[in-house]
A and B are shown apart, each in its own frame.
Chain A
Amino acid sequence: MMSKIKSFDELKSVQERLKAGRDPKKPCITVCVGTGCLAYGTQKLVDNFREELAKRNLADKIDFRTTGCHGFCERGPMVVISPEKVFYQRVGLADAGEIIDKTVLTGEIIDRLLYVDPATGVKVVHEDDVPFYKKQTRLVFGLNSKVDPESLDDYLAIGGYSALGKALTGMKPEAIIQEVIKANLRGRGGGGFPAGWKWDATRKAAGDPKYIICNADEGDPGAYMDRSLLEGNPHLVLEGMIIGAFAIGSSQGYIYARNEYPLAIKNITRAIKQAREAGLLGENILGSGFSFDLKINRGGGAFVCGESSALFASLEGRAGEPRAKYIHATDKGLYDKPTNLNNVETWANVPFIIERGADWYASIGTAGSKGTKIFSLVGKINNTGLVEVPMGTKLREIVFDIGGGIPGGKKFKAIQTGGPSGGCIPEKYLDMGVDFDELTKIGSMMGSGGMIVMDEDNCMVDVAKYFTNFLVSESCGKCVPCREGVRRMRDILLDITEGRGREGDVELLEKMATAIIDGSLCALGSSAPNPVLSTIRYFRDEYEAHIKGKRCPAGVCKALITYSIDPEKCTGCTLCAKVCPTKAATGVKKEVHTIDPAKCTRCGACRESCKFDSIIVR
């Protein structure tokens, strides 16, 4: 346990002592234990490493560190060996001994664990040369691979809490706010509202106490950057919050985290305890006279609780329902007191702005959106994972250079950004730079940074139905347009995908969308029509094909497709007949097979299994 650090100078000397105790040349084995890698069974690999190091009496000579998510979740389990930063991926759980003996002790590279660049076929030895990482600017997220999230020492050794020390001892609250305004840090949770202005409004608002809250209720399907930050580098988020609290004049803060994020909650809980013991949180922080403390509140599983006013209601112990925000939360938020709510990633950006200055920060990004943004890149993409790039990076670079393109040589069709109520962006906008304003212009949004890639096999009406369905089940039910309107939109989409679409449905959907956007109480409702609107805007022909032609061009909507076998291509290998669960595919060996449409459930098993591309879906 660390004793209380009583001043900025003392903090500096603690950092120096920790840094001096670490030899940068000493070999260090780093294993990613983010939730994604843990799901591969990485804990067993960690245990094996510890055991093998102990067996060889190397625990003193070789450092071993478990860290949070590195982002390249597609290739876990991942091991990085410093100082050379040799990068091993898809590491076998029993490979620990071999890695120690060969790579760490003798410098021999284990060929089979290297990453192969699918574009060039070249094997990559060092982490920094992996194309997935090479094109990123891992400002906020990159620290994840440098610290053990359980260790305050690790964070201090890389200069952690320096920004807090600087803010508390050398800056006035107003100056901190001015710095954040100048940096033009915009809220990473979805709205993109300038954080500095929000801080300023909360500071100036009448009312006591003032609250600051970290929104960790990340609920977009496929998005997990906030989770990975909280899991992987909880002290960074804490540092940002404490600086914010000092600037705003708040003595009490909350972290509202999803109950579905147990590891994040565990790690942030530990970090809070460590920070309190070290005098970085609680009474008289770093001897500055400023006091601030934090509580964690676990959400009950409602997507809508990511919306600020619903989050306050939930924190207050009431049902998570939004209220009208004609009076801003900065004036009347939690318990009707001035409240400043920012999400995890926004808070995590703050220490960088304070430490390196607004001018430096504002040099990254575009005119209207500064800094970097972490995206979770998922769907039909080779390199699934978390990606951090400067604002303004082209979608094409994210999808093809970093993401490695679409698997199986399929054609890119669309990328869905902004979470369930974001929009689908077609290929023609791939060269657009991604920032808050550009995404809004083309009918999507930044949201919290989810990116779901779709290929030619995705039906855009089906995609719209999926997201709309998600929003139907997540609507709180308070206001009529969202509760009733979105489900009626879903019903019409269901009709269209099941062959009951009618002439005029598309126009009706557009009309409903406008009224729902106008009439809904909160942002969940007013953005709920986005998936429908953006798919109509860019893929209207697919809607028409479903409604007028009663067919699904992508071959997804089961009511509108039939499976048959191309007699020219079928070799009679019998594989389709073997995998068909309903015995719809039949035939004699070495003769052309057939599919009985009456028995076929359109499950696609035959298409997946056929080696001769002979299954036709129409």
Chain B
Amino acid sequence: MVNLTIDNKKIEAEAGQTILEVARENGIVIPTLCSNEALEPSGACRMCVVEVKHGKRTRIVTSCLYPVAEGLTVETKSERVLASRRLVLQLLLARCPESQQLKEMAEDLGIKPEPRFTPDKDGSKCILCRMCVRTCEKVVGVSAIGFSYRGAEKKVCTPFQEESATCIGCGACAYICPTGHIEMETTETGDSRTIWGRTFKMATCTVCGRYFAPEDQLKYISRTADVPLENLAVCISCR
């Protein structure tokens, strides 16, 4: 166990935990945009920055990655932290002016858009939090999507922006996307869904007859979990 202070509160934490984990356990709110408990931290959004003092050295670090240490002093709302966080959100508001989630977060944190930043007009709601890519790789295990280009041109897409042969149409990327950027369309009858430009045929539940999962996804689960496909033919509600 290590002893540290977060916002003047003395806290005991397990070594190896991150500042963000410890803060959350202790009811201290640190805003995040690319953090999800199911995923390893990535440190991309920089909303979770905090000011740490260890010995004589003070610096700004990302709380999602920084491990707690004995004698660490953490400030989650110092002027320096707030300035850094404010710029991050203002930059994202300018990048994705149509994102409702960002607007709400800005309102919660009392951050106004910077009028000097001309909002982007491409209509994208992607903040490049990478949660979709990380989910596809680490949780689903297929790595159907990744990044192309770099810098401000960087975008999430399938390789060469073509239909992906590895995508199983599970839609985990769309579910986890915090801004609703990734679109998944399902037909009225529910017999197929389209995501990343590819249309997936949906399987029906042998009990209730509803469309419940893409056939490719069931085949993938059958293959990787070594379960006969017949065992996956019943939807969760009917199981």
**Which residues in A have some Cβ–Cβ distance to B below 8 Å?**
302, 304, 319, 323-324, 326, 472-481, 483-485, 487-488, 491-492, 502, 504-505, 508, 511-512, 514-516, 518-521
Contact A480 B45 (CB under 8 A): yes
Provide the residues of chain B in CB contact with A323, threshold 8 Å. Answer: 43
| Shortest Cβ distance from A474 into B: residue | B151
Contact A477 B65 (CB under 8 A): no
**Which residues in B have some Cβ–Cβ distance to A below 8 Å?**
43-46, 49, 60-62, 65-67, 80, 83-88, 91-92, 94-95, 114, 116-118, 127-128, 130, 146-147, 149-154
Provide the residues of chain A in CB contact with B65, threshold 8 Å. Answer: 324, 326
Interchain CA distance A487-B151 in the complex, whole Å: 9
Interchain CA distance A483-B46 in the complex, whole Å: 11
Known contacts A488-B117, A515-B84, A519-B49; A480 and B149 CB within 8 A of each other: no
Contact B147 A515 (CB under 8 A): no
Interchain CA distance A521-B49 in the complex, whole Å: 10
Contact A477 B92 (CB under 8 A): no
Rank and list the top 9 A-B pairs by shortest CB-CB distance, nearest first. Answer: A477-B154, A484-B91, A515-B87, A519-B84, A475-B151, A518-B60, A324-B65, A518-B84, A519-B46
| Shortest Cβ distance from A485 into B: residue | B91
Contact A479 B43 (CB under 8 A): yes
Provide the residues of chain A in CB contact with B128, threshold 8 Å. Answer: 477-478, 480, 483
Q: A472-B151, A478-B128, A515-B86 are in contact. List 10 more A-B contacts (CB 8 A).
A: A326-B61, A326-B65, A477-B153, A479-B46, A480-B127, A481-B91, A484-B92, A492-B116, A518-B83, A521-B46
Minimum CB–CB distance from B98 to chain A (whole Å) comes to 16
Interchain CA distance A512-B80 in the complex, whole Å: 12
Contact A484 B46 (CB under 8 A): no
Contact B67 A483 (CB under 8 A): no
Contact B62 A324 (CB under 8 A): yes
Known contacts A518-B49, A519-B46; A484 and B152 CB within 8 A of each other: yes
Contact B84 A488 (CB under 8 A): no
Please tell me which one of the listed residues A477, A504, A505, A512 contacts residue B151 in the complex, with CB atoms under 8 A apart: A477
Contact A484 B95 (CB under 8 A): yes
Interchain CA distance A483-B117 in the complex, whole Å: 14
Scoring B66, B83, B114, B116 by chain A CB atoms within 10 A of each residue's CB, the highest score goes to B116
Contact A476 B88 (CB under 8 A): no
Minimum CB–CB distance from B67 to chain A (whole Å) comes to 7
Q: Chain B at the A interface: mostly helix, strand, loop or mixed?
A: mixed
Q: What are 15 residue pairs bridging A and B, where the CB atoms are less than 8 Å apart in the complex?
A: A324-B65, A476-B151, A477-B150, A480-B92, A483-B128, A483-B151, A483-B154, A484-B92, A487-B152, A488-B91, A488-B94, A515-B83, A515-B87, A518-B83, A519-B88
Interchain CA distance A80-B17 in the complex, whole Å: 64
Provide the residues of chain A in CB contact with B62, threshold 8 Å. Answer: 324, 521
Please tell me which one of the listed residues B44, B116, B127 contacts residue A505 in the complex, with CB atoms under 8 A apart: B116
Known contacts A326-B61, A326-B65, A505-B116; A516 and B87 CB within 8 A of each other: yes
| Shortest Cβ distance from A502 into B: residue | B116
Contact B151 A473 (CB under 8 A): yes
Provide the residues of chain B in CB contact with A504, threshold 8 Å. Answer: 116
Minimum CB–CB distance from B228 to chain A (whole Å) comes to 36
Minimum CB–CB distance from A182 to chain B (whole Å) comes to 25
Minimum CB–CB distance from B134 to chain A (whole Å) comes to 12
Please tell me which one of the listed residues B67, B88, B118 contacts residue A480 in the complex, with CB atoms under 8 A apart: B88
Minimum CB–CB distance from A428 to chain B (whole Å) comes to 30
Known contacts A511-B83, A515-B84; A319 and B151 CB within 8 A of each other: no
Scoring A508, A511, A519 by chain B CB atoms within 10 A of each residue's CB, the highest score goes to A519
Minimum CB–CB distance from B60 to chain A (whole Å) comes to 4
Contact B147 A520 (CB under 8 A): no
Interchain CA distance A483-B66 in the complex, whole Å: 22
Interchain CA distance A488-B90 in the complex, whole Å: 11
| Shortest Cβ distance from B80 into A: residue | A518
Interchain CA distance A484-B45 in the complex, whole Å: 11
Please tell me which one of the listed residues B92, B130, B152 contacts residue A475 in the complex, with CB atoms under 8 A apart: B152
Contact B83 A483 (CB under 8 A): no
Provide the residues of chain A in CB contact with B95, threshold 8 Å. Answer: 484
Please tell me which one of the listed residues A478, A491, A518, A519 contacts residue B118 in the complex, with CB atoms under 8 A apart: A491
Contact A520 B46 (CB under 8 A): yes
Interchain CA distance A483-B44 in the complex, whole Å: 10
Provide the residues of chain A in CB contact with B91, threshold 8 Å. Answer: 480-481, 484-485, 488
Please tell me which one of the listed residues A324, A477, A508 contacts residue B152 in the complex, with CB atoms under 8 A apart: A477
Known contacts A477-B150, A508-B116, A511-B83; A521 and B44 CB within 8 A of each other: yes
Interchain CA distance A361-B88 in the complex, whole Å: 46
Contact B49 A480 (CB under 8 A): no
Interchain CA distance A480-B150 in the complex, whole Å: 12
Minimum CB–CB distance from A434 to chain B (whole Å) comes to 27
Contact A481 B43 (CB under 8 A): no
Please tell me which one of the listed residues A302, A505, A516 contacts residue B150 in the complex, with CB atoms under 8 A apart: A302
Interchain CA distance A504-B118 in the complex, whole Å: 16
Please tell me which one of the listed residues B67, B116, B149, B154 contacts residue A326 in the complex, with CB atoms under 8 A apart: B67
Interchain CA distance A516-B86 in the complex, whole Å: 11
Provide the residues of chain A in CB contact with B49, threshold 8 Å. Answer: 518-519
Please tell me which one of the listed residues A304, A475, A512 contacts residue B87 in the complex, with CB atoms under 8 A apart: A512
| Shortest Cβ distance from A516 into B: residue | B87
Provide the residues of chain B in CB contact with A474, threshold 8 Å. Answer: 150-151
Minimum CB–CB distance from A90 to chain B (whole Å) comes to 41
Provide the residues of chain A in CB contact with B44, threshold 8 Å. Answer: 478-480, 521
Provide the residues of chain B in CB contact with A520, threshold 8 Å. Answer: 46
Contact B152 A472 (CB under 8 A): yes
Provide the residues of chain B in CB contact with A483, threshold 8 Å. Answer: 128, 151-152, 154
